[in-house]
């Protein structure tokens, strides 16, 4: 079935797209295989900013600054040449050089290393010939490093007042011929220029000092194009490899917590490899977690792109139980140390070029590449860290004496008849009548007190020759869990990146691939609930034979408890394999006009086996051959497969007219995804040894077996305009087609406009407010879309049912509705950016408002239709996210030995359901409320504990004397009021110290425990319970009766079960030392850095639960790792 036709993508019809793509691909083949470029010098564009007159020396400087060429000549050869008159505009290097040298009848020759050799025209005897050129008298070489000892690649080394020079290579190495008393000038982006007079030494090593980075030099990735930080009109946040490195995380996005404004990362579990909830500027869809209608998927996930290739951000479902809450992370197999940068695109200007997939933000991940060098060479980099992780949060629970007193008081309060046979008492209350009354076990220590062992090692080889450069390597990560059993997570990954450019810079090619394997071997599930609820006098885990102790009561013949380690016998093994490949080709057909092709392929496969052996079942419940009754072993076999293919031909054109500069981009996208999922249940195994095979199962069920195909096509374009380099305009647009919608509704148009004004370039600002080094006002408005609704929702759907008369049957599962269409989000943003004191201090302030409409959701149907709902647009529903983002950065101290810099970011988002006409007459009236956040809770209004009865009291809204669901009211949203982070970085010579405090203001539910009085342990605050009439307390009386259980259950769903879950967390702390070049050169090393990294070291919170972020999931561990980075 053809789910997406290209016909509707553009009004002129499908022939336009067909011929555009054919033409682009065909032209690519011609230019890359058959075309021979003309002189590379003639293809090097030189921009002359103003009408001017230059000396020949100055012309050479201009050419070298704007191209890769260098000059070799004797100074006498150009003596006496007249100045050159130049007009504002663009020319090429060949014409400019010919014009400058023609009066002197000087000729030149271009060498392979891009050096231009000048010599006399033989017809002019007054000028020396090339044979008269004298070689330099000395050769100097050395290594160039930064203030922390890191090698600097691409440093420009020039002889002052000449055109002779070179670049440092991938090892920071340079070599250059010099004359006595020559002055060497070392310059590099972001570092202070250094001048050193040559005094005869053969080796001259140089250490450069950092300076405040110019905004023109910082380039951010905007997806289909790159732009300087200065000229950016959209809202894009960037995090570099320096901030990601050394952090012991399995998901690279977890390293962004507290670092990026507008990015909310909420981990669901401390288990490695498990997906976190990621949101960019709040929830834009009614399809929110915890409030989803059956059959619908979440609508708030951002778009992930790795090296230009889209990757599904949807977590992978698992059958692994509580340890896999949140699903398997699709990014877990990506090695964080292999990432060069991560950009987060937020506003319409930045995201609308991604059309229907950009409503919830876009996260761009760029992996590391090899570096261009001045000579051929190879680097080998090895890094490793090893460390430990511990669970450090402890709840204050009842000890044995307090627990048993609670239990007995509960029975007394309930007036339970204890005059019954002892075997009945022991069966009902083994903790009181069978277990050791003096035994005490700290279950938090036993079940959560293990130590996670973390090992990470990786090696990379990189190099190049100036035209072709490469980087490839591999990594291995192993991390055990703190819970009992042999649970662990292993990841192995490999990467390769090859880049090539032609000598004339017209043709470039890039091939990259990352492949990762992630393996979970998890015993049981989360032990948090057992650790908090098991009675402190529960039996030993093992019997005298070393087997699981079921504490079988000889009077009853049955086990008296569920051994918590029984769950560790249930194992889940996952095998995740993830490939992301990208091919990028580019050819400059003529000056400033390029044709490009971006192609990608992704494949993610997850195989999962969950085994439930007989040993995990209590003995009396196991299958008995004599009686033919009981439970047998079982296993689940679960497979997920995602494949995606991408093709994107593009055209780029840049043009200058006087003070006007234009950047034009047009392109097309075709993507096809294939998703497969199978779940096979094997039941009634006779032997545990057969659990790995379906052949050993007596009964086989296949509840899930499906394949889905998603097709997507688009045309997109961008026009960037700059006037006088201070008035900026950016127009983006996209026409999308998605197979998730019915005929006539598959195509949508999205676009945005962004503008900026760099007011700091005005003369009156420079003169009157000179302390402002940079100032920019920017704004954007546009529309993005969302098609995260799942596949085939517009079709009549059927599912297989039970056989009838030997034949399989079909039952209807979904109704045909070809009329629903895209969700759309209108985004508006205004921002102010300021820098002071030569960019030492910068401030960014953003205000935004996003409004989402045409909500895709399940419209409830009458039962008489035979269906519960139909997928449809709720055009009546409008969601708004608005807020402020603040970013403050500064370099407080900077001198040759000591640097201190800081960063502070704060995000404030307000989510609101603005309108939803007719919500009162729909099931959504119990889920959402107009005027409130989507996270609003519908709760009982708690009025305390009745001092006469000891029961919880709640507001009886309808005054009918009954507390039921009708008495609930909307109260307390669980959104974060604000969140952010504070970063400090200090360095003294080779010693570096950095740390990050993450903070959040939020509310959360805090009670997950059972009714006080039941045979489950409790937090020690229950000691302040009601005991007799007149007592004033917030804790109900102890009881085991159903009525009190109901009361406590209502309390858990009330306003009384909400508390402040705000926190400040020392998220990371890194101490490192980079050895000086003078020391490591003795051992033939190029770089050596040692570090100690701490993660989640301190948490300040008043929250009563285990963790304010993961709640009752496995909390984030406190980790301490130590390691090294070494380069040979």
Per-residue pLDDT reduced to its tens digit, 395-428: 899 999 999 999 999 999 998 887 788 888 888 8
C-beta of residue 49 within 8 angstroms of C-beta of residue 90: no
Domain assignment of residue 100, given as a range: 37-133
- C-alpha span between 879 and 930 (Å, rounded): 9
Asked if residue 940 has pLDDT above 60, the reply is: yes
Percent of the chain with pLDDT over 70: 91
**Which helix H or strand E contains 866, and what residues bound it?**
none
C-beta of residue 271 within 8 angstroms of C-beta of residue 1116: no
Per-residue pLDDT reduced to its tens digit, 338-382: 999 999 999 999 998 988 888 899 999 999 987 644 446 788 999
868 three-state secondary structure: coil
Predicted local distance difference test score (pLDDT) of residue 5: 46
Predicted local distance difference test score (pLDDT) of residue 876: 77
Count of structural domains within the chain: 1
Asked if residue 292 has pLDDT above 80, the reply is: no
Asked if residue 1099 has pLDDT above 90, the reply is: yes
Shortest CA distance to 52 belongs to which of 80, 84, 78?
84
Asked if residue 559 has pLDDT above 50, the reply is: yes
Predicted local distance difference test score (pLDDT) of residue 721: 95
What confidence category does residue 11 fall into, taking pLDDT thresholds of 50, 70 and 90?
A: very low
C-alpha separations of 124 from 106, 116, 120, 480, 925 in Å: 9, 20, 7, 79, 94
Asked if residue 598 has pLDDT above 90, the reply is: yes
Predicted local distance difference test score (pLDDT) of residue 722: 94
Q: What share of the chain is helix, strand, coil (3-state, %, to 5)?
A: 15, 45, 35
Average pLDDT over residues 27-31: 43
Shortest CA distance to 920 belongs to which of 912, 911, 930?
930
Average pLDDT over residues 200-220: 72
Asked if residue 637 has pLDDT above 90, the reply is: yes
Predicted local distance difference test score (pLDDT) of residue 137: 62
- Whether 49 is covered by a domain: the verdict is yes
The residues with which 454 forms a beta bridge, in sequence order, are 387, 479
Asked if residue 1039 has pLDDT above 90, the reply is: yes
- Whether 706 is covered by a domain: the verdict is no
Asked if residue 212 has pLDDT above 60, the reply is: no
Specify burial of residue 808 (Cβ count, 10 A radius: 0-12, 13-18, 19+). Answer: exposed
C-beta of residue 157 within 8 angstroms of C-beta of residue 168: yes
Asked if residue 824 has pLDDT above 80, the reply is: yes
Average pLDDT over residues 471-477: 94
Percent of the chain with pLDDT over 90: 48
Predicted local distance difference test score (pLDDT) of residue 132: 42
- Whether 737 is covered by a domain: the verdict is no
- Whether 99 is covered by a domain: the verdict is yes
- C-alpha span between 1095 and 248 (Å, rounded): 8
Q: Which one is predicted more confidently, 851 or 167?
A: 851
- Whether 317 is covered by a domain: the verdict is no
- Whether 791 is covered by a domain: the verdict is no
Predicted local distance difference test score (pLDDT) of residue 12: 46
Predicted local distance difference test score (pLDDT) of residue 33: 40
C-beta of residue 788 within 8 angstroms of C-beta of residue 287: yes
Residue 1077: which residues within 8 A CB-CB, separation 6 or more?
A: 143, 145, 149, 205, 207
Asked if residue 112 has pLDDT above 70, the reply is: no
Average pLDDT over residues 37-41: 48
Average pLDDT over residues 945-968: 92
- Whether 894 is covered by a domain: the verdict is no
Per-residue pLDDT reduced to its tens digit, 963-1013: 999 999 998 888 999 999 999 999 998 899 999 999 999 988 777 678 999
Predicted local distance difference test score (pLDDT) of residue 16: 45
Predicted local distance difference test score (pLDDT) of residue 411: 92
- C-alpha span between 245 and 229 (Å, rounded): 23
How many Cβ atoms sit within 10 Å of the Cβ of residue 502?
A: 16
Predicted local distance difference test score (pLDDT) of residue 2: 45
Average pLDDT over residues 631-647: 95
Between helix 56-65 and helix 93-101 the angle, nearest 10°, is: 170
Asked if residue 263 has pLDDT above 90, the reply is: yes
Predicted local distance difference test score (pLDDT) of residue 295: 60
Predicted local distance difference test score (pLDDT) of residue 920: 84
Residue 983: which residues within 8 A CB-CB, separation 6 or more?
A: 258, 259, 902, 903, 904, 994, 995, 996, 997
Q: Note the residue count of the chain.
A: 1128
- Whether 140 is covered by a domain: the verdict is no
Per-residue pLDDT reduced to its tens digit, 708-725: 999 999 999 999 999 998
- C-alpha span between 111 and 69 (Å, rounded): 10
What confidence category does residue 20 fall into, taking pLDDT thresholds of 50, 70 and 90?
A: very low
What CATH code is carried by the domain that includes residue 105?
Answer: 3.55.50.30
- C-alpha span between 1073 and 1088 (Å, rounded): 8
Predicted local distance difference test score (pLDDT) of residue 296: 67
Considering the chain, what is the average pLDDT of its residues? Answer: 86
The structure tokens listed for 669 are 């996208």
- Helical segments of 1018-1103, H only: 1042-1052, 1077-1080
- C-alpha span between 687 and 696 (Å, rounded): 8
The residues with which 316 forms a beta bridge, in sequence order, are 328
**φ and ψ at residue 833, rounded to 5 degrees:** -125, 130
- DSSP structural state of residue 504: T
**φ and ψ at residue 565, rounded to 5 degrees:** -80, -5
Asked if residue 217 has pLDDT above 80, the reply is: no
- DSSP structural state of residue 422: H
Asked if residue 623 has pLDDT above 70, the reply is: yes
Predicted local distance difference test score (pLDDT) of residue 1019: 92
Average pLDDT over residues 549-564: 90
């Amino acid at each position: 079935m053809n789910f997406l036709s290209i016909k509707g993508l553009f009004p002129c019809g499908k022939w336009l797209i067909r011929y555009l793509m054919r033409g682009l691909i065909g032209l690519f083949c011609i230019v890359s295989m058959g075309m021979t470029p003309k002189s590379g010098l003639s293809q090097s564009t030189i921009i002359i900013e103003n009408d001017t007159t230059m000396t020949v020396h100055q012309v050479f400087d201009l050419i070298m600054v704007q191209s890769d060429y260098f000059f070799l000549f004797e100074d006498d050869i150009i003596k006496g040449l007249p100045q050159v008159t130049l007009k504002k505009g663009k020319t090429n290097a060949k014409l400019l050089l010919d014009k400058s040298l023609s009066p002197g009848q000087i000729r030149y020759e271009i060498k392979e290393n891009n050096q231009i050799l000048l010599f006399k025209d033989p017809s002019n005897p007054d000028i020396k010939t090339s044979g008269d050129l004298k070689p330099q008298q000395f050769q100097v070489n050395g290594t160039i490093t930064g203030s922390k000892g890191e090698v600097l690649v691409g440093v420009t080394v020039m002889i002052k007042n000449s055109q002779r020079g070179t670049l440092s290579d991938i090892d920071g190495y340079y070599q250059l011929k010099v004359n006595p008393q020559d002055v060497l000038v070392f310059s590099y982006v972001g570092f202070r220029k250094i001048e050193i007079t040559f005094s005869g030494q053969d080796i001259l090593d140089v250490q450069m000092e950092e300076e405040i980075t110019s905004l023109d030099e910082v380039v951010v990735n905007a997806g289909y194009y790159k732009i300087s930080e200065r000229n950016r009109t959209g809202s894009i946040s960037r995090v570099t490899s320096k901030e990601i490195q050394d952090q012991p995380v399995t998901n690279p996005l977890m390293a962004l917590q507290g670092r990026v404004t507008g990015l909310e990362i909420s981990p669901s579990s401390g288990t490695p490899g498990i997906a976190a909830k990621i949101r960019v500027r709040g929830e834009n869809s009614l399809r929110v977690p915890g409030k989803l209608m059956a059959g619908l998927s979440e609508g708030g996930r951002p778009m992930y792109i790795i090296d230009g290739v889209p990757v599904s951000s949807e977590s992978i479902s698992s059958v692994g139980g509580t340890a896999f809450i949140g699903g398997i992370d699709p990014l877990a197999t990506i090695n964080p140390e292999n990432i060069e940068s991560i950009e987060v695109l937020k506003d319409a200007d930045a995201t609308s070029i991604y059309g229907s997939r950009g409503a919830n933000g876009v996260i761009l991940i760029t992996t590391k590449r090899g570096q261009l060098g001045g000579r051929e060479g190879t680097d080998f980099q090895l890094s490793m860290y090893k460390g430990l992780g511990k669970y450090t949060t402890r709840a204050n629970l009842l000890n044995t004496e307090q627990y048993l007193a609670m239990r007995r008081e509960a029975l007394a309060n309930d007036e339970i008849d204890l005059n019954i046979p002892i075997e009945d008492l022991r069966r009902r209350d083994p903790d009181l009548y069978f277990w050791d009354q003096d035994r005490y076990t700290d279950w938090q220590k036993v079940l959560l007190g293990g130590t996670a062992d973390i090992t990470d090692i990786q090696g990379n080889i990189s190099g190049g020759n100036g035209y072709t450069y490469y980087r490839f390597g591999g990594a291995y990560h192993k991390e055990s869990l703190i819970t009992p059993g042999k649970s662990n997570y292993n990841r192995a990954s490999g990467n390769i990146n090859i880049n090539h450019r032609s000598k004339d810079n017209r043709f470039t090619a890039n091939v990259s691939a990352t492949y990762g394997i992630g393996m979970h071997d998890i015993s049981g599930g989360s032990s948090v609930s057992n650790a908090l609820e098991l009675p402190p006098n529960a039996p030993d885990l093992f019997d005298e034979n070393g087997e699981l102790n079921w504490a079988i009561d000889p009077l009853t013949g049955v086990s008296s408890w569920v051994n918590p380690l029984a769950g560790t016998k249930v194992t889940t093994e996952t095998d995740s394999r993830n490939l992301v490949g990208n091919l990028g080709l580019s050819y400059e057909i003529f000056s400033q006009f390029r044709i490009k092709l971006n192609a990608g392929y992704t494949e993610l496969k997850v195989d999962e086996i969950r085994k439930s052996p007989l040993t995990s079942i209590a003995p009396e419940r196991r299958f008995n051959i004599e009686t033919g009754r009981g439970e047998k072993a079982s296993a689940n076999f679960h497979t997920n497969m995602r494949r995606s293919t991408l093709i994107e031909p593009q055209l780029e054109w840049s043009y200058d007219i006087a003070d006007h500069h234009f950047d034009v981009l047009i392109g097309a996208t075709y993507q096809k995804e294939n998703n497969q999922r199978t779940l096979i249940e094997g039941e009634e195994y006779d032997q545990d040894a057969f659990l790995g095979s379906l052949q050993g199962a007596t009964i086989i069920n296949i509840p899930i077996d499906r394949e889905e195909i998603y097709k997507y096509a688009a045309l997109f374009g961008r026009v960037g305009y700059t006037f006088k380099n201070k008035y900026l305009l950016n127009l983006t647009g996209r026409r999308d087609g998605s197979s998730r919608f019915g005929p006539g509704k598959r195509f949508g148009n999205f676009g945005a406009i962004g503008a900026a004004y760099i007011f700091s370039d005005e003369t009156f600002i420079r003169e009157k407010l000179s302390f402002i080094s940079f100032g920019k006002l920017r704004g954007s408005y546009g529309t993005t879309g969302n098609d995260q609704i799942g596949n085939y929702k517009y079709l009549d759907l059927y599912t297989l049912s039970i056989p009838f008369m030997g034949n399989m049957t079909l039952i209807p599962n979904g109704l045909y509705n070809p009329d629903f269409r895209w969700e759309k989000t209108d985004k508006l943003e205004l921002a102010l950016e300021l820098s002071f004191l030569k960019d030492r201090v910068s401030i960014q302030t953003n205000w935004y408002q996003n409004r989402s409409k045409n909500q895709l959701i399940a419209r409830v149907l009458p039962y008489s239709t035979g269906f519960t709902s139909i997928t449809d647009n709720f055009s009546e529903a409008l969601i708004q996210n608005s807020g402020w983002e603040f970013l403050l950065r500064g370099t407080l101290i900077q001198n040759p030995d000591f640097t201190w810099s800081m960063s502070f970011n704060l995000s404030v988002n307000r989510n609101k359901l603005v309108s939803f006409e007719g919500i009162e007459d729909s099931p959504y009236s119990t889920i959402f409320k107009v005027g409130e956040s989507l996270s609003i809770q519908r709760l009982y209004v708690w009025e305390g504990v009745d001092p006469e009865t000891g029961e919880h009291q709640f507001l009886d809204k309808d005054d009918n004397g009954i507390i039921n669901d009708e008495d609930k009211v909307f109260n307390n949203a669980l959104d974060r009021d604000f969140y952010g982070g504070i970063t400090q970085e200090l360095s003294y010579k080779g010693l570096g110290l950095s740390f990050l405090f993450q903070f959040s203001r939020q509310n959360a539910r805090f009670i997950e425990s059972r009714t006080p009085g039941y045979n489950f342990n409790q937090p020690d605050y229950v000691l302040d319970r009601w005991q007799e009439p007149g007592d004033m307390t917030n804790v109900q009386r102890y009881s085991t009766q159903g009525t009190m259980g109901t009361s406590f259950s209502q309390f858990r769903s009330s306003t009384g079960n909400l508390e402040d879950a705000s926190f400040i967390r020392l998220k990371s702390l890194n101490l490192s030392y980079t050895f000086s070049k003078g020391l490591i050169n003795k051992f033939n090393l190029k770089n050596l850095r040692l570090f100690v990294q701490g993660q989640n070291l301190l948490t300040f919170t008043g929250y009563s639960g285990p963790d304010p972020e993961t709640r009752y999931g496995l909390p984030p561990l406190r980790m301490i790792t130590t390691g090294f980075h070494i380069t040979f």
